[in-house]
Structure 1
Amino acid sequence: MTPSTFDLTNCEREPIHILGSIQSYGYLLAVLPDTYSIVHASDNIADLIGQSADELLGLPIDQALSNSSLSANALIEFLNVGRRSESWEGLNPQQFAVNGKSWNLIVHQHQGLIVLEWEPVGEHNIARNQQLIAQALTEVQASRTLSDLLQNTAQRVKKIIGFDRVMVYRFEPDWHGHVIAEAKEDHLDSYMGLHFPASDIPRQARELYKINLVRLIADTTSTPSRILSQPDWPNDKPLDLTHSVLRAVSPIHIEYLTNMSVQASMSISLMYRGELWGLVSCHNTVPRFVDYPARQAAKFVSQLLSTALEFRKDEEDQSSLLHFRQNGQYLHEQLLLDENIVKALTKQPVSILDMTKGTGAALLFNGTVYRLGQTPDDDEIRGLADWLKQNDMESILQTDQLPNLYPPAEKFRHVGAGLLSIILSKELNEYIFWFKAERIQQVTWAGNPDKPILVDADGQHRISPRTSFAAWVQNVRNTSEAWAEAEVAAVVKLREDVLQVITKQANEVRLLNQRLQLAYDELDAFSYTVSHDLRTPLSSIRCYSEILLEEYGQDLNPDATALFQKVIDSTERMRALIRHILFYSRMGRTELNTQSIDMKQLLEGIREEIMITAKDRSLTITIGDTPPIVADETMAIQLFTNLLSNAAKYTQLEKEAIIRINGKQSDGEVIYSIEDNGIGFDMNQAGKMFDLFKRLENARTFEGSGVGLAIVKRIVIRHGGKIWFHSELDRGTSFYVSLPSTQTR
């Protein structure tokens, strides 16, 4: 096996949450919740309570501790309180005296076991820690730069835990780390500005950092204590230490820290919107124990920093989004005033170049390339369009490493290492492109990022942690500045604006309309086949099932009764799907009966229906301004019922679900917004939002057919309007519907 073929992912497969041992400074028991019988114990437990692990396994706590100075009654009472409250976080730590020495007990429950971990009570200074926390809070609230906040956080954590070095370590998009703040002792070399490869903190370790926000390694030179299990415990169910404070350390990581001359380390997670943004990474050259209260104080300081990160990032995103939306509105007005697509997008004071922070933009329309700013040449843009068409690109594509996806782009990386593109018409090869120039980075790594591969005495290959952390410089090419969410949201809206004008200009000669008409005809034929060929047998299945259930239900066992009910429920879902397909098909040929619609009455009726079905949960639907619209009443009811029902469905996981509807009258159009605080979605999947039978990944656990939004889009198009949206994962979704304020046909 050569280095080129060696599997470099073995670090990521190491089961670090079930290493089977704990750090030697503490002690562990795991008990069953109902009987408090001991099923796991650390091998060193005798040092705490005077009995070996073998003697304790299988015994209930009161019997196991009968000869120990640790009070069994006090311990059981503490466990009872935790079980009744169904939470241990507010109870940890609990101090217990054993043989005249105080110990902190930290408890958690995981995978059907209660895990008890004892560690020493340290000599922490509560008053000083509280003062440092208060200073950190004041600092976060003050108007400071982010770099100041990061640096002062590192200094405060260092004061709390007393380590030699504290770094703030930010993860880059490829998960390699970058030291952006540091507080250290004067005699140590600085790591400020250095980069650490992603393999230094493998994927499964990053996942644990999201769950267990503080991780202490008190002494890398100590021998861990094994976890023993009662004899009849299944071998395939080792104790999961995901939430443990004493979890032992991977031998690979111990070797890594030793190579850094580190004998104690501590990491505190920095989170942003539920994801790991970075770490506060702490190193000490000699063993050092930090007790639970001090770790919690350091954790609180880092959480203040996480809050500041989220606030500042959200503030920045909103500012950018407002700027791009304003430019998008200018472009929209230009499109309405002058329906020459090319002139409106490329030859006016505000152009497509102003829709992002890109360094260049291009429009490929009616066979001609129109370029703005710094872009590839015409032939290179045409080649890029051909590649997108061949690779079945969705309506939007974004990348900050285009040459890695499309090798010919390496020739023009100086102007186009990053690409954001939208499809106007795949059949007619019409696109809008935005480019970002290559950002050549000179990255200084903490040692060569490539791990050396060693051969053991038995001939086995293994990755060895780096032995040198001296600065190692590398030039990174083929990448650009990343595309922001605000930029993607802006071009999603622009695409709808442009397509609205294109639709108005379309005629029978255009290939797109021909193919769309063929698809509609085929869908009509399919839907009628479904209607006539499936409805009758489906009704028979339901009818016969109901008869069998009614006539023989009392003779059937519960499982058979449940199966009959499932058959009935499935036929009802199938009938609903058929109705949706038929409605979608018939919209293409149904004449519009447009009239002025009282939206207040319409929306209140829909709200009442939704609230009846959602009576068992907390749901608030607020209706703001309701200017009238001119539309077909039946289709308008279907349109807003689908949007509001979706909002209600995807807020089911929220304790307090909130939906807001508001209308706004402007020149020539009425715009309604429907906003919710539900699960949201990744804007990278925006291209499939209105596709028939397509559902987004995070919505698959919710019941649905994938037809509702396709119906919504078709209704809007029939009325000469447009629909767009903006969303963020776990932060809700906003849909916007624009309909003309005058009658259309």
Structure 2
Amino acid sequence: MLSFPNSDHSFTQETLLLRITNRIRQSLELQEILTTTVAEVRAYLGTDRVKVYQFQPDGHGIVIAESLSSDRLPSLLGLHFPADDIPPYARELFVRARQRSVVDLSTHAIGISPLNCPETGDLIDQTDIRYRPVDPCHQEYLMAMGVQSSVVVPIVLEGEAAGPYHPPSLQPPNQLWGLLVSHHAEPRSVSETELQFIQAVVDQVEVVIAQSILLDHVRAQAHQESNINQVTALLQTSPMVNWQDVLQAAASSLEADGRLYLVASEQLPTESPREIYTIGEQPALLDSIQQRSIEENLLWQ
């Protein structure tokens, strides 16, 4: 068996954790933070690969950050993995129990170490790793990737960090954002101390991800307000509004195609009975000969 470096040096762990925390706080860009995190964790563990696996809205996952030590394991960076790779019951345990797993294929065992009680979701004092036989399908999956040992720690966002769009009266559910995974091409043992260290790193990463999500929303809101102000200015600067410019600004704000249909009236006189302004892809005409637009459909009106 290979042993992890620094496994008996709590001072070294504390120093490294402080260094990782300081480095990830020096940047506001999530990708840079995750790249730094996987590099630091892999250097500490001495494993062949450490990656961050992010879940997508449809359930599948993407490796968005990775650190490799050699050519013993191939790069998975940017690869997509189907949702079926991680079944629903495993995802539920990741969220409710913050369940961490340690696999050693030399002993055909998987170690389970939950942070929370699987039934209640409350924090528990248990910190030891409980081993049981590893599922043959999971064993075959790892072997197919050339992996003999692995450590998986879930990245879970709590409460408001899981999503900003919830009624104030409802507590938003926790969200399984992703996984921090360490792979090694040879069998190796993992101590509770090392697992606690990885968990401490993940705790910091969860805070940074929540802050990054908030920052993205603030930036998006500022961008939207800027575009609204631009449209408002175009409507108020002149009695003769340039409707094409207004549509362009509105479409840009929504990052979409645009269509503006104006009908002549006493309040809005035009040189023709109707005016149409368009940007991007448009619906087909109702009648190409008479040039009847979709807005002239009775059901539409």
CA 1:323–1:151 in structure 2 vs 1: closer, same or farther (change >3 Å)?
A: closer
Q: CA deviation at 1:337?
A: 8.3
Distance 1:355 1:183 in 2: 37
Match of 2:260 among 353, 360, 363: 363
CA contact 2:55–2:62 (8 Å) conserved in 1: yes
Quote the residue 2:85 is aligned against: 200
Q: CA deviation at 1:352?
A: 1.8
Q: CA deviation at 1:318?
A: 0.9
Q: Does 1:155 align with 2:52?
A: no
Distance 2:213 2:105 in 1: 37
For residues 264-290 of structure 1, the C-alpha deviation after alignment (integer angstroms, 9 at most, x for no partner) is: 211122234232222111112233232
Quote the residue 1:321 is aligned against: 221
CA contact 1:129–1:297 (8 Å) conserved in 2: yes
Distance 1:142 1:190 in 2: 27
What are the within-5 Å matches in structure 2 for residues 467-478 of structure 1? Answer: none
Distance 1:319 1:178 in 2: 24
Highest RCO, 1 vs 2 (Cα 8 Å, sep ≥ 6) = 2
Amino acid at match of 2:52: V
Match of 2:107 among 198, 213, 222: 222
Distance 1:142 1:350 in 2: 38
Amino acid at match of 2:252: D
SS of match in other structure, 1:363: strand
Match of 1:276 among 171, 176, 193: 176
Q: CA deviation at 1:130?
A: 0.7
CA 1:379–1:309 in structure 2 vs 1: closer, same or farther (change >3 Å)?
A: farther
CA 1:207–1:369 in structure 2 vs 1: closer, same or farther (change >3 Å)?
A: farther
Distance 1:344 1:429 in 2: 26
Quote the residue 2:252 is aligned against: 354
CA 1:371–1:264 in structure 2 vs 1: closer, same or farther (change >3 Å)?
A: farther
CA 1:125–1:370 in structure 2 vs 1: closer, same or farther (change >3 Å)?
A: farther
For residues 539-574 of structure 1, the C-alpha deviation after alignment (integer angstroms, 9 at most, x for no partner) is: xxxxxxxxxxxxxxxxxxxxxxxxxxxxxxxxxxxx
Quote the residue 2:171 is aligned against: none
Structure 2 residue ranges without an equivalent (≥5)? 1-5, 111-117, 163-173, 264-272, 287-292
Distance 1:267 1:153 in 2: 15
For residues 358-415 of structure 1, the C-alpha deviation after alignment (integer angstroms, 9 at most, x for no partner) is: 3x222356697844432134439xxxx99xxxxxxxxxxxxxxxxxxxxxxxxxxxxx
Q: CA deviation at 1:129?
A: 1.0
Question: With structure 2 as the length reference, what TM-score do the two structures score?
Answer: 0.68
Quote the residue 1:266 is aligned against: 151
CA contact 1:346–1:352 (8 Å) conserved in 2: no
SS of match in other structure, 1:288: coil
CA contact 2:34–2:65 (8 Å) conserved in 1: yes
Distance 1:378 1:177 in 2: 38
Distance 2:68 2:299 in 1: 61
Amino acid at match of 2:19: Q
Distance 2:41 2:120 in 1: 26
What are the within-5 Å matches in structure 2 for residues 726-745 of structure 1? Answer: none
Structure 1 residue ranges without an equivalent (≥5)? 1-121, 226-238, 387-425, 431-745
Quote the residue 1:135 is aligned against: 19
Distance 1:320 1:195 in 2: 27
What are the within-5 Å matches in structure 2 for residues 58-457 of structure 1? Answer: 123-143=7-27, 145-188=29-72, 189-213=74-98, 215-222=100-107, 245-246=129-130, 248=132, 249-272=134-157, 273=162, 274-332=174-232, 346-348=244-246, 351-358=249-256, 360-363=257-260, 370-379=276-285, 429=300
What are the within-5 Å matches in structure 2 for residues 659-674 of structure 1? Answer: none
CA contact 1:214–1:299 (8 Å) conserved in 2: no
CA 1:187–1:332 in structure 2 vs 1: closer, same or farther (change >3 Å)?
A: closer
CA contact 1:167–1:281 (8 Å) conserved in 2: yes
For residues 231-250 of structure 1, the C-alpha deviation after alignment (integer angstroms, 9 at most, x for no partner) is: xxxxxxxx979988536443
CA contact 1:218–1:290 (8 Å) conserved in 2: no
For residues 668-719 of structure 1, the C-alpha deviation after alignment (integer angstroms, 9 at most, x for no partner) is: xxxxxxxxxxxxxxxxxxxxxxxxxxxxxxxxxxxxxxxxxxxxxxxxxxxx
Q: CA deviation at 1:136?
A: 0.8
CA contact 1:170–1:277 (8 Å) conserved in 2: yes
The list of structure 1 runs, each at least 4 consecutive aligned residues, that deviate by more than 6 angstroms after superposition, is 239-244, 336-340
Distance 1:134 1:371 in 2: 57
SS of match in other structure, 1:218: strand
Distance 1:365 1:332 in 2: 18
Q: CA deviation at 1:259?
A: 1.8
Amino acid at match of 1:375: E
Distance 1:373 1:182 in 2: 40
For residues 716-737 of structure 1, the C-alpha deviation after alignment (integer angstroms, 9 at most, x for no partner) is: xxxxxxxxxxxxxxxxxxxxxx
SS of match in other structure, 1:269: strand
SS of match in other structure, 2:150: strand
CA contact 1:219–1:287 (8 Å) conserved in 2: yes
Of stretches 162-171 and 140-149 in structure 1, the one that deviates more from structure 2 is: 140-149
CA contact 1:161–1:295 (8 Å) conserved in 2: no
Question: With structure 1 as the length reference, what TM-score do the two structures score?
Answer: 0.30
Larger Rg: 1
Distance 2:48 2:57 in 1: 29
CA contact 1:170–1:278 (8 Å) conserved in 2: yes
Distance 2:54 2:30 in 1: 13
Q: CA deviation at 1:167?
A: 1.0
Distance 1:329 1:190 in 2: 46
Distance 1:379 1:250 in 2: 59
Amino acid at match of 2:222: L
Distance 2:135 2:276 in 1: 57
SS of match in other structure, 1:124: coil
